[in-house]
Chains A and B, each alone.
Chain A
């Protein structure tokens, strides 16, 4: 069953007015019927009481003279009052002296008469269907007997049934009227609320904030509708502003993307031409220097041949610089693919490779176990390659060396490190370590282009990490990096 709470408002309103009018009617009818019953009883009591007095007065002599016949005659006069069912006159001892029973009553006089009590002769009592009444018969201030009458209440019952019938008919007509009136009111009260509810539902379903509820009247519903519409307007405005902001952002992102793409493309074509066009002349320089050395060496003196060798060496070095530069730019350009990387295994492989390039060197590799991270394996390989190569290179002038790879605390940060006991560097130049083409050693001393650490730094930065170096001249260097 539907609870009242979940009933639609229009049913609630109908129920309300019908209940209100019905209960008012029922109360009114009930009060009226009750009052009518009460006043009818009072009137009946009055009438029967009077009749009992008359009968008593007229029967006193009969009692005194022991003449039941005249008492019976007196009682017979009660037939004029159709309500009286039975009546009786009793003597002072409470013995029935004379009686009357209405024609048509099939009971004996004893059964039809009300009970009397000689000690309490003056009383009356309403039963369901009748009124029992007894009065003392007084003669010269002396009680000589009792008169008792039983009167029918049937008339009252019929009368009340009629009233109830009328009340039911009135109630029915009034209910219909109340429904009609409530429908009419409902139109004016519930309709705007229903319309508002429907609009609210559509707004929330379709997310269409341009909808508006129809405004009606200036009552609370009207205010509600107006407020609701205002809220919708505000939401719509805010949505529009948000959309505008989003469009603007998207436009800007698209613009930047285009610019970035253009820049990237330019960079790509730049490195392509560097890779292609800058190397071609170098090949000619080297190739024809070589041709000169081979074909015309007899026409050149020692110095001339030396000059040509220098030309060739420079060409080769330039080629190396170009390659390194291209690698550096590729490191920042290529897309990153993140995956779990076993740094320990990688470091061990690099160490083994290095040892193979110079088997005679005595280098101890100390590589910590279980170092894994998440990152681009190819790029991290370049990082370790460069750091190990540096360590290898800067320990190459000593008979024994030790290269270490591990994970430790430094400057309050946990970081990976590659440590060597090679020539080290002066901390005064630490800020130059990671600049492209920056070197702390002459080429003649240690070969290199100064690109390695710049490349390493870019890769570490791309992994969201940091790199720094610590060293002391002739006491080795340690490079720390976080990922």
Chain B
């Protein structure tokens, strides 16, 4: 779990704090990169803007993506991510409040690996984050790196 980075795309600082707390309570100590809107998330993933010159060999092991985001919304982030060779196979878990069928359908259509609804009950949320961390950071074997596209 050493250099496995979690990218948390979340505009709500409360939700960010609660997610960090849930991770901590589950002893998940991986580095958490927080992007507060869609544009920032894309900057991080593609090494542009504030993240220009970032070492792109380090890609998030799992991206927790909210849907309702300032600037560029979550579904658009997902679309651009999947359209790029470098990020095409990155695991993306949609973590959002919405249970709208349309969001679910669009999310999966655009290639989300999982869709999780944030429960109001913090105990349930903690449990969900525990299972999520266990699965994506420990159990899941990521796709092999596509070398040619990583510069």
Q: CB within 8 Å of B: which residues of A?
A: 271-272, 275-277, 279-284, 286-291, 315-316, 318-319, 323, 326
Complexed CA–CA distance, A286 and B119 (Å)? 10
Minimum distance in angstroms from A352 CB to a CB of chain B:
26
Flag if A283 contacts B99 (CB, 8 Å).
Answer: no
The residues of B that contact A286 with a CB separation of less than 8 Å are 120-122
Interface of B, secondary structure class, is loop
Flag if A290 contacts B120 (CB, 8 Å).
Answer: no
Within 8 Å of chain A (Cβ to Cβ): is B97?
A: yes
Complexed CA–CA distance, A271 and B97 (Å)? 12
Interchain Cβ contacts under 8 Å between A and B, 24 examples: A275-B97, A275-B98, A276-B98, A277-B68, A279-B97, A279-B118, A279-B120, A280-B12, A280-B14, A282-B120, A283-B14, A283-B18, A283-B97, A283-B122, A286-B120, A286-B121, A287-B17, A287-B21, A287-B125, A290-B122, A290-B123, A319-B119, A319-B121, A323-B99
Complexed CA–CA distance, A276 and B99 (Å)? 8
Within 8 Å of chain A (Cβ to Cβ): is B141?
A: no
| Given the contacts A287-B14, A287-B18, A287-B21, A280 and B97 also touching, CB distance less than 8 Å | yes
The residues of A that contact B12 with a CB separation of less than 8 Å are 280, 284
Smallest CB gap from B14: residue in A: A284
Minimum distance in angstroms from B23 CB to a CB of chain A:
13
Enumerate B35-56 residues with CB–CB distance to A below 8 Å: none
Enumerate B116-151 residues with CB–CB distance to A below 8 Å: 118-123, 125
Within 8 Å of chain A (Cβ to Cβ): is B15?
A: yes
Complexed CA–CA distance, A67 and B118 (Å)? 166
Complexed CA–CA distance, A289 and B15 (Å)? 14
The residues of B that contact A291 with a CB separation of less than 8 Å are 21, 122
Enumerate B83-127 residues with CB–CB distance to A below 8 Å: 96-100, 118-123, 125
The residues of A that contact B15 with a CB separation of less than 8 Å are 280, 283-284
The residues of B that contact A272 with a CB separation of less than 8 Å are 98, 100
Given contacts A281-B14, A283-B18, 5 further A-B contacts (CB under 8 A): A275-B97, A283-B15, A284-B18, A286-B122, A319-B119
B96: which of A276, A284, A290 is its contact (CB, 8 Å)?
A276
Smallest CB gap from B21: residue in A: A291
| Given the contacts A283-B125, A286-B120, A287-B125, A276 and B14 also touching, CB distance less than 8 Å | no
Flag if A316 contacts B121 (CB, 8 Å).
Answer: yes
The residues of A that contact B120 with a CB separation of less than 8 Å are 279, 282-283, 286, 315-316, 318-319
Complexed CA–CA distance, A286 and B14 (Å)? 11
Interface of A, secondary structure class, is helix
Complexed CA–CA distance, A291 and B125 (Å)? 13
The residues of A that contact B123 with a CB separation of less than 8 Å are 290
The residues of B that contact A323 with a CB separation of less than 8 Å are 99
Flag if A275 contacts B18 (CB, 8 Å).
Answer: no
Complexed CA–CA distance, A281 and B97 (Å)? 11
Complexed CA–CA distance, A323 and B119 (Å)? 11
The residues of B that contact A271 with a CB separation of less than 8 Å are 100
The residues of B that contact A318 with a CB separation of less than 8 Å are 120
Complexed CA–CA distance, A281 and B99 (Å)? 16
Closest 6 CB pairs of A and B: A319-B120, A284-B14, A287-B18, A287-B122, A290-B122, A279-B97
For B43-74 the 0/1 string (1 means CB < 8 A from A) is 00000000000000000000000011000000
Complexed CA–CA distance, A319 and B99 (Å)? 13
The residues of A that contact B122 with a CB separation of less than 8 Å are 283, 286-287, 289-291
Complexed CA–CA distance, A323 and B98 (Å)? 10
Complexed CA–CA distance, A282 and B119 (Å)? 10
Complexed CA–CA distance, A276 and B18 (Å)? 17
Minimum distance in angstroms from B24 CB to a CB of chain A:
11
A275: which of B21, B100, B125 is its contact (CB, 8 Å)?
B100
Minimum distance in angstroms from A285 CB to a CB of chain B:
9
Minimum distance in angstroms from A471 CB to a CB of chain B:
33
Complexed CA–CA distance, A277 and B119 (Å)? 13
Smallest CB gap from A323: residue in B: B99
The residues of B that contact A319 with a CB separation of less than 8 Å are 119-121
Greatest chain A CB density within 10 A among B17, B68, B120, B125 is at B120
Complexed CA–CA distance, A323 and B21 (Å)? 25
Flag if B68 contacts A276 (CB, 8 Å).
Answer: yes
The residues of B that contact A277 with a CB separation of less than 8 Å are 68, 97
Minimum distance in angstroms from A126 CB to a CB of chain B:
118
Minimum distance in angstroms from B36 CB to a CB of chain A:
14
Greatest chain B CB density within 10 A among A283, A288, A316 is at A283
The residues of A that contact B14 with a CB separation of less than 8 Å are 280-281, 283-284, 287-288
Minimum distance in angstroms from B45 CB to a CB of chain A:
24
Complexed CA–CA distance, A279 and B98 (Å)? 9
Greatest chain B CB density within 10 A among A275, A282, A289 is at A275
